[in-house]
């Protein structure tokens, strides 16, 4: 798999959450691993962006932008903190 890291979506994250999020800690709902969002594995697949856990490859976040509205699915995150 050929993914980017969370820094690739720093702009998207700050648009969605209104804050600098690459240093925020996300906890994977699948395996419980936690770490900075900058260390997640990111796949940019228009129209969606998929953020996966670096430990288990579980999907942590999905962003889909349609007509300038971004829908966010955070079901793969058990915790998100700064």
Residues of this chain that bind Zn ion (CB under 5 A) = 28, 30-31, 33, 53, 55-56, 58
| Of 36 and 65, CB closest to Zn ion | 36
* Smallest separation (angstroms) from Zn ion to the CB of 66: 27
* CA-to-CA separations, 38 to 5, 13, 66, in angstroms, rounded: 6, 10, 24
The closest alpha carbon to 55, from 74, 39, 44, belongs to 39
Residue 77 Cβ vs Zn ion, minimum distance, rounded to whole Å: 10
* Shortest Å, Cβ 53 to Zn ion: 3
């Amino acid at each position: 798999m050929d993914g980017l890291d969370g820094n690739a979506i720093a702009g998207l994250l700050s648009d969605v959450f209104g804050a600098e999020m690459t240093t925020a800690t996300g906890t994977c709902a699948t395996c419980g691993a936690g770490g900075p969002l900058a260390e997640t594995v990111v796949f940019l697949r228009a129209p969606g962006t998929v953020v996966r856990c670096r430990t288990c490859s579980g999907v942590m976040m999905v962003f889909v932008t349609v007509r300038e509205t971004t829908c966010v699915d955070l079901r793969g995150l058990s915790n998100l903190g700064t």
